[in-house]
Amino acid sequence: MPSARDPDALRKAMAAQRSRRREEPPRRRSPSSPEPADAGQPVSDDWLDVSSPLNAGRPLPYSVAFEWDLALTARGVAHRAERHGGGWRILAPDREAGQAMAELTAYRAENRPGRSGIPLPRHENRTATLLALAVLLTFFVLTRTYLPALGLYPYEWDELGSAQAGHILDGEWWRLATALTLHADAAHVLGNVVVGALFIVPICQTLGSGQGWLLVLLSGVVGNLVNAFVQGPGHDSIGFSTCVFGAAGILAGLRARTGSGRSPWFTAVAAGLALLAVLGVGGERTDVGAHLFGFLAGLALGLFAGWRLLHLGPVGRLTGAFLAMTAALVPLAAWLWAFLSH
């Protein structure tokens, strides 16, 4: 099998593929007979397998196929990935096969061996993430509704659950989580839900909903804690935006760990800091400290999650379910603690 860095050998391999396709008769299969699980789409004369010559003729593991697919997408090279022989292969149009192989060869040379092996994102149902954000909206309506029969009034929610630094430093730790669920007005909560979805959905697709949401909440809690220590006893804030910027940091950390190219750290972190500069520091009511510390907490968590993903793989289904339950219980337990303490 030709070396990945031998252009002449690669060209010969591509020519051999074309020759074999011209010589082989088309395979026919009864429409009623099921397709084998590892059978890919038949490759037409216009498409060539550009991954097998670079992998000693073997199918790619799905993690490597995903990584190579991202590399070609980033370079704007037409291609497609399909299942083949118990693994995956990358196909490119005949006219772009040479460029595709050259890009993949360069990509392999740029990235040290330890950086490969990114598991495929989980294209799971987004319902869980969107439902959680819908619960946040519903809770906003609840906290702005007068419920005298229950002794609940809008101002009491804020007094009991805001991130009032003095109370936090006095031991009212539930405020680190409850403050994330409170909002000043409809525009505040809608903005956090819309922008948050842009980051939380891809995080949950990569890590799973349980792990993704738990990390997002943890970034918000840590951000509020650090902010309380830095800002001092007189500071007070509410809002999910600490988690939103935490999610931006998590995504930046994941991209820094799993990204391709010579400087994934710089690209991913710079993008996150640019977002912080654009959205996180404007307006009189903007809590810059919470946004900054949420982002930094998320960045650290994202780097750890990316490392774990590369070295240990995605969490199992049962573990993911446990993490999802934990994430759901964090705000519930925090509010229960708050009410029992007053």
Domains detected in the chain: 7-115 (no CATH), 127-340 (1.20.1540.10)
Q: Measured between alpha carbons, how far is 295 from 308 in angstroms, rounded to an integer?
A: 20
Which tokens is 168 given? 């936090």
pLDDT band of residue 5 (cuts 50, 70, 90) is very low
Phi, psi of 230 (to 5 degrees): -75, -45
**pLDDT at residue 276, rounded to an integer:** 67
What is the average pLDDT value for the chain, to the nearest integer? 79
Q: What is the mean pLDDT of residues 74-79?
A: 86
Q: Is 248 exposed, middle or buried, given 0-12, 13-18 or 19+ CB atoms closer than 10 A?
A: buried
Amino acid of residue 74: A
What is the percent of the chain with per-residue pLDDT over 90, rounded to a whole number? 40
What is the percent of the chain with per-residue pLDDT over 70, rounded to a whole number? 73
DSSP SS3 for 93: strand
**pLDDT at residue 148, rounded to an integer:** 74
**pLDDT at residue 168, rounded to an integer:** 97
Higher pLDDT, 53 or 177: 177
Instruction: Give the Cβ contact number of residue 131 at 10 Å.
Output: 12
Q: What is the mean pLDDT of residues 51-69?
A: 83
Q: Pinpoint the alpha helices (H) of 232-286.
A: 241-258, 264-279
User: With 60 as the cut, is the pLDDT of residue 58 above it?
Assistant: yes
pLDDT band of residue 259 (cuts 50, 70, 90) is low
DSSP-assigned beta bridge partners for residue 93 = 47
- The arrangement of strands across the sheet holding 80-84 comes to 47-49, 87-93, 80-84
pLDDT band of residue 235 (cuts 50, 70, 90) is very high
Q: Is 152 exposed, middle or buried, given 0-12, 13-18 or 19+ CB atoms closer than 10 A?
A: middle
Q: What is the mean pLDDT of residues 312-328?
A: 90
The pTM of this model reads: 0.64
Q: What is the mean pLDDT of residues 309-323?
A: 86
Per-residue pLDDT tens for 172-229? 999 999 999 999 889 989 989 998 998 998 899 889 899 999 999 999 999 999 999 9
**pLDDT at residue 8, rounded to an integer:** 54
